[in-house]
Structure 1
């Protein structure tokens, strides 16, 4: 499979800062300096010292140095070393490419990219992170890695920086508001306290207490955050008194443990002691969740005779009040999450109570039922809600799958991995889905329909990823097992999968015969999902292999089924397929209408990208035939942005790839290379929402202003000249040579242009410049 590249100038995925960043100016400068001379920098330090936040701040300040983005990869919730590379790939938006556990595909993908990758919380998977970092350093000369870990990765070429706690007030210097304002830990405490108590201020009266509290907490950011949360129920003096008492009890602890770790443990010990027995029980049991939980899950997983389900709500409320649990998100369902160090603390108590496997088993049962519910209710008006729920529970699904596989629960593991078929496909998590399916199928086999389903889902993913050899091997076992089992709906999926392989191989006649067999069986069982899937495949294959109108009836039948059931995904796919066939049939108006309707339908499934890219493509083809060439080029750019983000293309669909190439050639020949590239860049610069609005020919929703208007850009004559050279694709060195100036001078002009226009990438400058001289159409 050919390797795609990401769009130059991508911002990456750094989380937005939701609280102020206090202090650390010297550390930020030092890390930036290290990254200028070292390609791997690891921030080490104890838990709660602020490594993650510091790495994010450095990444945010260095965005412009990395045209291909700064990418944040959270590893704290990951337990399987085989998924490190897959997790990095998902963070970078590589959704359709199979990178494999050894990550050669990821290294190939990044080989020519200038990007900064932040690997956060590597300590649990330090060996796997070290192996991946070493591979990327060898294979990707322009990639830099910033890691956070409680221990160094110990990779050749690694530079380390030990992150220390924030500075604390000097006990020899009298504490005053002015003095505390210059101190990092006191400033952090004051800002966070004001968030808890809006009227809180640093005064002459409380300055001494604040100073002593910061000293007692030893400047640990997490400890300060946890302690200040108690201001809802305690005064500063009460917090200090309790912390001081707790520290006295630590004198018999592990002597070689760093004092700051003892302090953090003391703070969590203190929170534990403040809880009732029932709250402690819930705290420890909730630790089996990863990435958050919802109330109904806690009631099913954590409740038993000793902890009745009807008490869970009140206990969760108490743990939220005590800052053990945090309410996160603003969705229709309340969601809760623990800090990782708090979760680990609860897990230790769960293990000590001998309850870990029992509670983890109930966790598996709950999420297996959730996956089954999502699979059975895929064809329903709840489809979008089901997909969102599964997305929210991604980390928990991983934990459940790991428990099933590690405990060799063969049928449960196969069923859970296979029931997530739509989750893997629609979200683009194909590599991860394949990973779990292969692990489940490697368990001692059992002759059961759950294995058949796992085999055919694995075969489908392999087919989409162009691994037809593996898909064929999986289907050989599937056929043999089907013949030994009583009738089931799964029997209909075998010829459907075989038809997919034939279609990808270009054997349309065989594909049509196989799809026809599947359709008969799906209708016998009343399986609407399978029927819609098959009708889409039949319609598209018939229309591409014969007359376009030959596929209309099948696609219309799929649309009718989707509309009647409230299904979204296959209905939108059928509309796109119909737009392609109508375009081939010369019905440009009908093609555009179908593609636009498909885009409207797809908006019900959040984060669905593949179908959006397809619709943007078909609308570009329509615009090209109508000789609306500027629109066609811009739509091609918008679709290219989607393909780049997913690391996929139309290449696997031979006819569709030909249509794309023909459209590019015709539009470029009429517009000219420079004008075509300018419009393409404008499309690349569109956000997903703006791209859809442009495709639908509707006004985009008002957005925050991100660039200066043409008449108030503030660019000097020289800067406009440099902007034109940027639009030509020249590097800073080439711009300097063209203008006969020093490279540093050219770099300064580029930085000024980006700053004045509010841009972060050179491609945005090119798109902006094109907009000044080219009218919209």
Structure 2
């Protein structure tokens, strides 16, 4: 997934189009019109008809109407309705820390945002999607939702548009090459055929075959795509011959099925028949993967005595050639993926062969082993690579975890969910981690150290999310069980979690001896991961416990050096942020800035884009405030605040830091004044994560100039700069907002602006509101007068 944020002006997370978009003019017009009058539009239609592609294209064309972004949420691979809200939150870039991303939480996050949310492939989760959609629409008046589903959500206010197959030449009509261009299905077929065979052209000789193919495929885009892929090995006539015979046979055997489903099923049946027996076995077994797979996983999960591991590579290559699977991405490791309809077909074959239980168990074992390996090798130069791999396998992890908590045994489910502790924490997937841990802990409780580990990981997550009562209850259960078990290295983690609960509550005196106890235990066990965790929080607690913050320096520097020597990244970044806080408290603003910037730089290695960045921006805001660089300070605090909101978190859960935050905010506001402070704070909140980091590191980029004036005065200075495009960009206006500024200056009303830009009036009103906010004005007349005066100057 893209790592775009919800900052104003960002375009969301829509993927770039890699093939041309053919036809659908009427549908596109319908989607635009319906979204202008209805806040919920559902595209319905048969599988393979092109609902997803139409929705994505509509989103791309409507981006300018949604300054807070167009966001695609892919649900085809999700099976658990309880995770719909979590999946939406992840697509939006939410890294929650204190409140789980349920419907009310997402509603709070999206409240006031003018955004378009695309919920793709909802048919198997229609109840959960309907409930979430209704909650969001009631709470977020500027939100629009576009749904693709084989059935409507059936909630109040829903507008539906049925997506039909592409237009097809009429039967018994002779078409010329010129005539074919009028039919969308023929245009798509020719476009894709040209991509497969660069010299392909429509001629009098092949025109009738193309017509017959379009008719046989009934204009289904997916069927056309799959059929044309066969041009690598077959001619158009051969494809037509095989399809026609196959469809007749299938229609005769299943008359009660819709014709389009017969067509698509026949096409996949045909692909199955073209495969060798070993290819079919592999195809069916690969269906257990969700969201793609890598070669080593396929070799481990799919191989047995009948399908040797050494044969998997060649069989995968053959399935790629047959377009059953495709290679995705351009990373160092090849990754493969199936279309969902192809995967479902394989799953049906796997179930029919009676192999699903064994393959699902091996799939679960593989990813449980991957989680265990990642946990055991967390402290290593491979830390960043491990985190990236786990992120890529998110869909597979969910499938494997579902099997683990459903099929047991409890020890495996507990260990699996707990071994992903770093994945849940660093990625900000805390609510999802809590979901799986709660399900595993609900299984018949084994008297085993795996349960102790799961309890203390769940306690740590609850602590970070601000649920202190739950954290203490879970840890009490862990301590009670640990007291009855033989010695284990796991025992050393209990005091460090207990110390964190105390430290977050502001009780440093209670936290310190617990951290010291944990540190002794970890050093005796030679546990580098535990030692670094404890040093980082011990140093912070020492510095916060007295009026001498420098007491915490040695522990934090020891954590940094230990991490650097071992290749660990996350705790090194955290330690540098903690050091920046203590240096700031000690009056060393230059040293504090250096430490916070190092934290930002190091955090990039594990792609931390919310939690660690938000902490570092906060401390750099305090530093700038202490140096009376108040415009910069307000912008940094605004950027940090936006990230905390995106995570459904707040510094209020960490009592000491919240006091520093309030004190710094009050001082900066007093010096700037309410209006200037609010304008700068708002400007910072509108930055993307990349722009905020550029500002923090004082690099070139939008709003990255320290002390830059954000809110122009109502009466311009005598030497105001010329109003160029660059000047308006510097003031934070998006491209569409710059167009609207010129229309305001020309005296157009909101209704006239909407007509000129061909957007809804509410969209135009939103642009005007954003412009007034960014320029610090309260009326359209001020905008027009300011623009005219600057042009004169």
Contact 2:737-2:767 at 8 Å conserved across structures: no
Q: CA deviation at 1:225?
A: 0.8
User: What is the alpha-carbon distance in structure 1 between the residues aligned to residue 103 and residue 298 of structure 2?
Assistant: 36
Per the alignment, residue 486 of structure 1 pairs with: 486
Say which is worse superposed, 288-297 or 205-214, in terms of deviation. Answer: 205-214
Q: CA deviation at 1:100?
A: 5.3
Q: Give 1:516-531 correspondences, 5 Å limit.
A: 516-531=516-531
Contact 2:126-2:153 at 8 Å conserved across structures: yes
Contact 2:731-2:775 at 8 Å conserved across structures: no
Per the alignment, residue 96 of structure 2 pairs with: 96
Contact 1:282-1:315 at 8 Å conserved across structures: yes
Q: Secondary structure at the match of 1:127?
A: helix
Deviations along 1:95-148, one digit per CA (max 9) or x if unpaired, are 215665963333344444443322111111222222223333444444332221
Q: CA deviation at 1:362?
A: 0.4
User: What is the alpha-carbon distance in structure 2 between the residues aligned to residue 642 and residue 100 of structure 1?
Assistant: 15
Per the alignment, residue 121 of structure 1 pairs with: 121
Per the alignment, residue 619 of structure 1 pairs with: 620
Per the alignment, residue 665 of structure 2 pairs with: 664
Say which is worse superposed, 664-673 or 248-257, in terms of deviation. Answer: 664-673
Say which is worse superposed, 47-56 or 586-595, in terms of deviation. Answer: 586-595
Contact 2:95-2:428 at 8 Å conserved across structures: yes
Structure 1 residues 213 and 399: alpha-carbon distance in aligned structure 2, compared to 1, 3 A threshold = same
Structure 1 residues 431 and 247: alpha-carbon distance in aligned structure 2, compared to 1, 3 A threshold = same
User: What is the alpha-carbon distance in structure 2 between the residues aligned to residue 102 and residue 742 of structure 1?
Assistant: 40
1:385 pairs with 2:385 = yes
Structure 1 residues 559 and 763: alpha-carbon distance in aligned structure 2, compared to 1, 3 A threshold = farther
Say which is worse superposed, 605-614 or 417-426, in terms of deviation. Answer: 605-614
Q: Give 1:451-600 correspondences, 5 Å limit.
A: 451-546=451-546, 547-600=548-601
1:133 pairs with 2:137 = no
Per the alignment, residue 317 of structure 1 pairs with: 317
Deviations along 1:627-671, one digit per CA (max 9) or x if unpaired, are 333333333343344334433332322332333333334334444
Per the alignment, residue 68 of structure 1 pairs with: 68
Deviations along 1:41-91, one digit per CA (max 9) or x if unpaired, are 221111100111111222223334434332221111111111112212222
Q: Secondary structure at the match of 1:466?
A: coil
Contact 1:722-1:750 at 8 Å conserved across structures: no
Q: CA deviation at 1:576?
A: 0.9
Per the alignment, residue 743 of structure 1 pairs with: 750
User: What is the alpha-carbon distance in structure 1 between the residues aligned to residue 635 and residue 62 of structure 2?
Assistant: 29
Aligned residues: 751
User: What is the alpha-carbon distance in structure 1 between the residues aligned to residue 371 and residue 732 of structure 2?
Assistant: 54
User: What is the alpha-carbon distance in structure 2 between the residues aligned to residue 160 and residue 596 of structure 1?
Assistant: 50
User: What is the alpha-carbon distance in structure 1 between the residues aligned to residue 303 and residue 722 of structure 2?
Assistant: 62
Q: Give 1:295-444 correspondences, 5 Å limit.
A: 295-444=295-444
Per the alignment, residue 285 of structure 1 pairs with: 285
User: What is the alpha-carbon distance in structure 2 between the residues aligned to residue 113 and residue 326 of structure 1?
Assistant: 37
Contact 1:418-1:454 at 8 Å conserved across structures: yes
User: What is the alpha-carbon distance in structure 2 between the residues aligned to residue 663 and residue 599 of structure 1?
Assistant: 21
Structure 1 residues 115 and 189: alpha-carbon distance in aligned structure 2, compared to 1, 3 A threshold = same
Per the alignment, residue 725 of structure 2 pairs with: 713
TM-score w.r.t. the length of structure 2 is: 0.88
Q: CA deviation at 1:532?
A: 0.8
Contact 1:463-1:501 at 8 Å conserved across structures: yes
User: What is the alpha-carbon distance in structure 1 between the residues aligned to residue 453 and residue 67 of structure 2?
Assistant: 43
Deviations along 1:314-365, one digit per CA (max 9) or x if unpaired, are 0000000000011000111100000000000000000011000100000011
Structure 1 residues 692 and 113: alpha-carbon distance in aligned structure 2, compared to 1, 3 A threshold = closer
Per the alignment, residue 714 of structure 2 pairs with: none
User: What is the alpha-carbon distance in structure 1 between the residues aligned to residue 129 and residue 346 of structure 2?
Assistant: 26
Residue segments in structure 2 that go unaligned for 5+ positions in a row:
703-720, 760-765, 778-786
Q: Give 1:257-272 correspondences, 5 Å limit.
A: 257-272=257-272
Structure 1 residues 600 and 584: alpha-carbon distance in aligned structure 2, compared to 1, 3 A threshold = same
Residue segments in structure 1 that go unaligned for 5+ positions in a row:
702-708, 753-758
Q: CA deviation at 1:403?
A: 0.5
Q: Secondary structure at the match of 1:604?
A: helix
Contact 1:682-1:768 at 8 Å conserved across structures: no
User: What is the alpha-carbon distance in structure 2 between the residues aligned to residue 137 and residue 77 of structure 1?
Assistant: 24
Say which is worse superposed, 193-202 or 483-492, in terms of deviation. Answer: 193-202
Q: CA deviation at 1:674?
A: 4.8
Per the alignment, residue 21 of structure 2 pairs with: 21
User: What is the alpha-carbon distance in structure 2 between the residues aligned to residue 394 and residue 205 of structure 1?
Assistant: 50
User: What is the alpha-carbon distance in structure 2 between the residues aligned to residue 14 and residue 125 of structure 1?
Assistant: 22
Structure 1 residues 494 and 347: alpha-carbon distance in aligned structure 2, compared to 1, 3 A threshold = same
